[in-house]
């Protein structure tokens, strides 16, 4: 995998979990966990005294995407299962798909930056395979614009800290806007 012109080693699920947990277990009482059947965020409760951000199996893209949602969620949302977001499963209508895209611009742009920082490939996701409705060009353009914008102005603080940790580990340059100045087909 490449970051710019330099090859970097691929991140493993274990490295990702360790990086996240070293940064956020003590400061935000939150732990990243692999092995979920589906990704989910579970705030602390009577049976578990810490918040859990669970990603699907050991899929890096699932983890980076869930981390992006966590980095965007404010304090109140982090007290609600899955941050209180709705989710229409695969098979969304055209209208539902466009609503999905509106709320996914920032998480997907952030996931892309994390991916570059970790030397991991990124693909924009319409997350709607059975309906045969792909990501709109407008959505893809907005994701690109948001990623480029975060190269020039600060990302949310947790996202910036996580990006810096990945970047230091993999010796990458994730805040170089040239990584994101491409269009998706």
Dihedral angle computed from the Cα positions of residues 61, 67, 73 and 78, in that order, rounded to the nearest 10 degrees: 120
Q: What is the pLDDT along the chain (185 residues), one digit of tens a residue?
A: 333 434 455 789 999 999 999 999 999 999 999 999 989 999 999 999 999 999 998 899 999 999 999 999 999 999 999 998 766 566 666 676 666 777 788 999 999 999 999 999 888 776 644 445 556 678 888 899 999 999 999 999 999 999 999 999 999 999 999 988 775 54
SS3 32: strand
Place of tokens 């991991």: 120
**Burial classification of residue 48, based on how many CB atoms lie within 10 Å of its CB (0-12 exposed, 13-18 middle, 19 or more buried):** exposed
Domain map (residue ranges) of the chain:
2-180
Nearest C-alpha neighbor of 73 from the set 161, 142, 158: 158
């Amino acid at each position: 995998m490449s970051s710019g012109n330099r090859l970097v080693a691929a991140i493993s699920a274990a490295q990702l979990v360790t990086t996240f947990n070293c940064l956020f277990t003590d400061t935000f009482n939150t732990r990243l966990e692999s092995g979920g059947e589906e990704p989910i965020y579970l705030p602390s409760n009577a049976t578990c005294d810490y918040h859990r951000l669970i990603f699907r199996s050991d899929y890096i893209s699932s983890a980076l995407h869930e981390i992006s949602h966590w980095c965007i969620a404010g304090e109140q949302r982090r007290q609600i299962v899955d941050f209180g977001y709705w989710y229409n499963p695969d098979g969304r209508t055209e209208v539902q798909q466009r609503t999905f895209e509106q709320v996914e611009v920032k998480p997907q742009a952030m996931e892309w930056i994390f991916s570059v920082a970790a030397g991991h490939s990124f693909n924009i996701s319409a997350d709607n395979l059975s309906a045969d409705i792909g990501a709109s060009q407008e959505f893809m353009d907005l994701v690109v614009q948001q990623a480029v914008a975060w190269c020039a102005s600060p990302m949310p603080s947790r996202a910036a800290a996580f990006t810096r940790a990945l970047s230091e580990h993999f010796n990458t340059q994730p805040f170089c806007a040239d990584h994101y100045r491409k269009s998706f087909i």
